[in-house]
Amino acid sequence: MEQQPALYLIAAMSENHVIGNQNSLPWHLPDEWKNFRKVTEGKAFLMGRTSYEAPDALHSTYRNVILSNHGDHTDQGNTQYAPDMEHALALLSDENEVFVLGGASVFAQLISQAQKLFLTIVHAHIEGDAFFPTVSLADWEMQSSEYHGIDEEHEYSFSMNVYVRKEADNAEESSQ
Ligand SMILES: NC(=O)c1ccc[n+]([C@@H]2O[C@H](COP(=O)([O-])OP(=O)(O)OC[C@H]3O[C@@H](n4cnc5c(N)ncnc54)[C@H](OP(=O)(O)O)[C@@H]3O)[C@@H](O)[C@H]2O)c1
């Protein structure tokens, strides 16, 4: 059986779980982008075709695997297409860790298999049409959290949180 890499979901969501609006991020937070770049530097990315083609999309300089049901895409440079999740994970089976970049549909498919969440909470209620799935805090332990306040470049404050999946025994204790 092929080995599966550790899956790390990385996202920024508002307090009401919005991650996007009309295929764009509904905020501009330069220090959050910098943190994203630092965390994901040199790592493989897995994402849905819509997020990959978004105008503000971030691509890996190392390796991108893009999910698409349509077979009319051609692999190019460091970008490969996969027709379903099984093929995508098989392509990435030689990686130790893979960052899952979304969007909403891909987060929903993979949150149950993820080992870590790099989840920035944007401290605002924002309108949008793409949402991060519900996170059961009984399953996750916060490893670190870095707060960033409002300033002239950042319209909203935000917290860059990292969660690790609890061991099965600990998760059971916390949910009781
Ligand atoms: N705030 C954040 O951290 C963040 C991060 C990423 C994205 N976003 C936002 O999320 C939104 C996009 O999310 P979305 O859910 O609409 O789109 P998405 O998940 O990025 O992409 C959906 C597309 O991916 C392909 N796909 C997904 N799962 C597949 C599977 N199992 N097998 C084959 N193909 C599969 C399909 O492509 P085909 O149509 O080609 O078949 C599907 O239409 C945008 O607003 C974006 O800005 C936010």
For the Cβ of 126 lying below 6 angstroms from any atom of ligand 1, the answer is no
Residue with the nearest Cα to atom 48 of ligand 1? 19
Mutate to test the pocket of ligand 1, among 16, 50, 70, 129 (most ligand atoms within 8 A of CB): 50
| pLDDT band of 172, cuts 50, 70, 90 | low
Q: E strands within the chain?
A: 6-14, 18-20, 44-48, 63-67, 79-82, 97-102, 116-122, 130-131, 140-148, 158-165
How do residues 39-71 score in pLDDT, each as one tens digit?
999 999 999 999 999 998 999 999 999 999 987
Residue with the nearest Cα to atom 44 of ligand 1? 23
Residue with the nearest Cα to atom 13 of ligand 1? 103
Asked if residue 125 lies in contact with residue 139, where contact means CB atoms within 8 angstroms, the answer is no
Element (H, E) at 38: helix 30-40
pLDDT of residue 113: 96
Q: Which residue has the higher pLDDT, 28 or 75?
A: 28
**Ligand 1 center from residue 134 Cα (angstroms):** 17
Q: Can you say whether the dihedral through the CA atoms of 112, 97, 141, 14 is positive or negative?
A: negative
Residue with the nearest Cα to atom 27 of ligand 1? 48
Residue with the nearest Cα to atom 7 of ligand 1? 103
For the Cβ of 12 lying below 6 angstroms from any atom of ligand 1, the answer is yes
Whole-prediction pTM value? 0.94
pLDDT of residue 140: 96
Q: Which of 15-29, 90-104, 132-146, 157-171 has the lowest mean pLDDT?
A: 157-171
| pLDDT band of 73, cuts 50, 70, 90 | confident
For the Cβ of 65 lying below 6 angstroms from any atom of ligand 1, the answer is no
**pLDDT of 112 strictly over 90:** yes
**pLDDT of 3 strictly over 80:** no
**pLDDT of 83 strictly over 50:** yes
pLDDT of residue 2: 67
**pLDDT of 18 strictly over 60:** yes
Asked if residue 26 lies in contact with residue 54, where contact means CB atoms within 8 angstroms, the answer is no
**pLDDT of 156 strictly over 80:** yes
Q: Delimit the domains of the chain by residue range.
A: 23-155
Q: Which CATH number fits domain 23-155: 1.10.10.10, 3.40.430.10, 3.40.50.620, 3.50.50.60?
A: 3.40.430.10
